Amino acid sequence: MDNKHVVEISDLNKSYGMGAGRLSVLKNIDLKINQSEICSIVGPSGAGKSTLLNCIGCLDSFNSGSLKIHGKELSNMTIEDLSGFRNKKLGFIFQMHNLLPEFSALENVMMPMLISRVSGKSARLRAREIIAEFGLSERINHKPGELSGGECQRIAVARAIVNQPSIILADEPTGSLDSENSSNLIDILFRLGKQMNTTIIIVTHDKTIAEKTERIISLKDGKIIEDSAVIG
């Protein structure tokens, strides 16, 4: 087993539909990602970026090939194993923040820790600390409806990272922000990621963000056409 790679994908294929209408969305994907690597996935709309990210995040299934996270083959895991694994090892950030509207910013950030049975007191303390990193200490009691879009997105990023996941998967996390807010948020995310030794995989259309990452993986028509980590 190769422990160096947190993500190890070989010959992964995914398609929708059957027969003549069959649509291949991921084709023979081979990809290895190291612990604490910060990489971006770029490419045109429909290239398969979200699909690939969702496969890595155990949110979507694939037809053939192998996908290992920390050496564990995902297709061999049970549904219960997968959900525990998602909660402990993975952090997700989506384009729309997906915060729970009935709960305050603080409670939203506490949620992943409460699910993994961290005590309420520790969860509260830790959530406050991380929210402070994002400059939102004054807003902890606001519900998402009482926060600006950028603030919600920062809280969503805080929630994704608070449990110190091994991997953060982000799909256009700054898609709804202006360039200044977007750049600030990414800088905080990458800094915290490095501190925590977290692997970050970020799907983005934003060239400025991709250029801040250590590795750019380009997808087109379901294939990796370029990978800055691979000397071609």
Binding site for Mg ion (CB under 5 A): 50
**47 near ligand ATP, judged by CB under 6 A:** yes
The CB density around residue 128, as the number of other CB atoms within 10 Å, is 14
Tell me whether residue 121 is exposed, middle or buried, using C-beta atoms within 10 angstroms of its C-beta: 0 to 12, 13 to 18, 19 or more.
exposed
Residue 16 binds: one of Mg ion, ligand ATP, none (C-beta under 5 to 8 A by kind): ligand ATP
Can you list the pairs that 23-26 forms with residues at least 24 positions away whose Cβ atoms lie under 8 Å? Answer: 24/222, 25/51, 25/222, 26/51, 26/52, 26/55, 26/62, 26/222
Quick one: which of 5, 9, 50, 105 contacts ligand ATP (CB under 6 A)?
A: 50
Characterise 122 by phi-psi region: left (phi > 0), alpha (psi -120 to 50), beta (else). alpha
| Least Cβ distance, residue 22 to ligand ATP (angstroms) | 10
Element (H, E) at 182: helix 179-196
**23 near ligand ATP, judged by CB under 6 A:** yes
**102 near ligand ATP, judged by CB under 6 A:** no
Residue 45 binds: one of ligand ATP, Mg ion, none (C-beta under 5 to 8 A by kind): ligand ATP
Residue 25 binds: one of ligand ATP, Mg ion, none (C-beta under 5 to 8 A by kind): ligand ATP
Residue 68 binds: one of ligand ATP, Mg ion, none (C-beta under 5 to 8 A by kind): none
Asked if residue 129 lies in contact with residue 161, where contact means CB atoms within 8 angstroms, the answer is no
**204 near ligand ATP, judged by CB under 6 A:** no
Q: Which residues bind ligand ATP (CB under 6 A)?
A: 16, 23, 25, 43, 45-51
